[in-house]
Amino acid sequence: MNTPASEQRLEQLREKAWQEGVVPGRGVDVVGGPIPRKPGYYGQPVVKPPVWTWEVPLYFFFGGIGGMSAVIAFGAVLFHQVDLARAAMWSAAVAGAVLSPILLIMDLGRPHLFLNMLRVFKHRSAMSMGAWILTAFGTCVVSGSIALELHAHEIIPGALGQLLRVAAGIFISGAAILGTLLATYTGVLIGATAIPAWFLHRTLLPIHFGTAGLGSAAAVLELLGHRIAALNSLGFYAATVELALLVWLSIDKYGAADRAIHEHGTGWQIRIGEVLNGPLALVLRFFGFIPLAALSFLIGALVSRIGWIGVGKVSGSDPESVFAAERY
């Protein structure tokens, strides 16, 4: 007999009730009487927690590395450090123009429709702006890398070679400007939402994501063997800013509204991440353990990103946080 799934489920529940005398419910609250004592409506979430999975924090991580690598490439080109510029452009291309789009598309509910992102341009949607920034960045990075490689290998001589040099300069400048936006817009993306723990920290998030991106980009290049003073300075700068953000996050509390950050395990992920890319990276770098400092910063930047998405899920599921956040 062909019974619909719903009827089968009903039969299962009846069977279970017959055998065990009770079907355990999720929301039963019988302590002291019939009136439910959970906050809001039976403790149901007031806003919806994010549906995003592991791809999104990884995208934030690689987007940060890719975007800020282009900035370092721009600096290297300006100061005639061609080897470093080539490595940085490779890093920008792999992280920002290959891994980032793949992760972003993988996270979509319908990946085959990803091009629909480019149907409209909406400056009031951070997701739309992000899609355009990523597209423009990818174009600049790929063109800039090709031009730079051809120029560096001196494949094309003469006037055409000079033209290639100019083109590389223009594309790398474009990639640098778009790269700073690629690394920071993700903070706006989650900061301008209805999730209390996110929107209450909307100024901290872009600073954190952007700076973590810059430090990670420098760390990747250092781990690739480019031990130069400029990258070391950037490492010091990023770790110092992250240390300041760790202090800011510990002081800037909003009670029940952002308790996911201060009372929940995912909040600890953020703080552990911040310790790794703030104070620990700073101390290691100060004593000259550069590869260790770079590694510590990279791990911290990733763990903190995972923590921020996790905090959004906890905060969005907590009705009391939403009610409390309305005072701010």
Partner 1 sequence: MIGEGTQSTNQRRHTFVRDHVEVGFFTDPTVCIGCKACEVACKEWNEVPDDGFTWTGNSYDNTGHLGASTWRHVLFLEQDRQKGGQIVGSHSLGNGPEADPFRWVFLSDVCKHCEEAGCLEACPTGSIVRTETGTVFTQDDVCNGCGYCVVSCPFGVIDRRPAPLPDAGGAFKCTFCYDRQKSGLVPACAKVCPTESIVFGRLDDLRARATQRVNELHQHGYDDAQLYDPTETSVRGIHAFFLILGEPEAYGLPPKPQVPTIYLKSAWTAAFATAIASLIVTLLAFAFSS
Cα(311)–Cα(266) distance, integer angstroms: 5
The reply to whether 27 sits near partner 1 by the rule CB under 8 A is: yes
List the x/- string, 249-288, binding to partner 1 by CB under 8 A: ----------------------------------------
Nearer to partner 1, 51 or 159 (CB): 51
Cα(210)–Cα(218) distance, integer angstroms: 13
Q: Measured from the CB of residue 250, what is the shortest distance to partner 1 in angstroms?
A: 19
Q: Identify which range of 139-147, 150-158, 208-216, 274-282 contacts partner 1 by CB under 8 A.
A: 208-216
User: Which tokens in the block code for residue 18?
Assistant: 């017959």
The reply to whether 289 sits near partner 1 by the rule CB under 8 A is: no
List the x/- string, 28-47, binding to partner 1 by CB under 8 A: xx----xxx--xxxx-xxxx
The reply to whether 319 sits near partner 1 by the rule CB under 8 A is: yes
Judged by CB under 8 A, the residue of 158, 229, 251, 287 near partner 1 is 229
C-alpha distances out from residue 58 to 61, 64, 190, Å: 5, 10, 14
CB proximity list for 245: less than 8 A, separation 6 or greater: 204, 207, 208, 211, 274, 278
Task: Please say whether the beta carbons of 215 and 235 come within 8 A.
Answer: yes
Q: Identify which range of 18-26, 143-151, 158-166, 219-227 contacts partner 1 by CB under 8 A.
A: 18-26
Judged by CB under 8 A, the residue of 65, 72, 299, 306 near partner 1 is 72
The reply to whether 131 sits near partner 1 by the rule CB under 8 A is: yes
Dihedral of CA 133/136/139/142: which sign? negative
Q: Measured from the CB of residue 78, what is the shortest distance to partner 1 in angstroms?
A: 7
The reply to whether 233 sits near partner 1 by the rule CB under 8 A is: yes
Q: Identify which range of 48-56, 151-159, 271-279, 289-297 contacts partner 1 by CB under 8 A.
A: 48-56
Nearer to partner 1, 71 or 168 (CB): 71
The reply to whether 323 sits near partner 1 by the rule CB under 8 A is: yes
Task: Please say whether the beta carbons of 144 and 175 come within 8 A.
Answer: yes
The reply to whether 119 sits near partner 1 by the rule CB under 8 A is: yes
Q: Identify which range of 160-168, 286-294, 300-308, 314-322 contacts partner 1 by CB under 8 A.
A: 314-322
Task: Please say whether the beta carbons of 167 and 122 come within 8 A.
Answer: no
Count CB-CB contacts under 10 A for residue 299.
Answer: 18
Q: Measured from the CB of residue 158, what is the shortest distance to partner 1 in angstroms?
A: 29
Q: Measured from the CB of residue 143, what is the shortest distance to partner 1 in angstroms?
A: 20
Nearer to partner 1, 108 or 158 (CB): 108
Q: Measured from the CB of residue 204, what is the shortest distance to partner 1 in angstroms?
A: 8
The reply to whether 120 sits near partner 1 by the rule CB under 8 A is: yes
Cα(284)–Cα(78) distance, integer angstroms: 29
List the x/- string, 166-205, binding to partner 1 by CB under 8 A: ----------xx--xx-xxx-xxxxxxxxx--xx--xxxx
The reply to whether 144 sits near partner 1 by the rule CB under 8 A is: no
